[in-house]
Amino acid sequence: MSFSTDIAKLVADQLSRFVTLNPHQLAGQVENLDFWLGQVRHALAVIDGYGVRFVRLHAAQERYVAVHRVTASVVDPAGATERPPPPVRRTSDRELRHARRALVEATTRFLERCRAVGLVADSVATAALAEFAE
């Protein structure tokens, strides 16, 4: 897991919980619909921007290692040797796609539930669903 996938999961889990609420409880969350949709937008932007941020992070670490001649001890059958540290691990595209898809699905279920119980107008739900459609 990475920050990008963790934040998406956190928002998706919260929206999934909302779907199970009683209508009067759901009404309280709908009152903050702009906030929750903003959280969805933010989490999607974090996922969508991951690749660019990772390239910068990786390049900065590689530059630092080269300039400061950073090494890490590696112990193998031949003994201990000093080598450059391994590069940072990238979150896989598969993990990012899965987190994005789960967030969009949770958002869709939340909006559909709100529309079904009459807490969100059709036009509002339709616009939001179109915005988050994959």
Tell me the pLDDT tens digit for each residue of 56-75: 999 999 999 999 999 988 88
Whether this model's pTM surpasses 0.95: no
Q: Write phi, then psi, for 85 (nearest 5 degrees).
A: -65, 155
Beta carbons within 8 Å of 13's beta carbon, 6+ residues apart: 106
What digits encode the pLDDT tens for the residues 15-29? 999 999 999 999 999
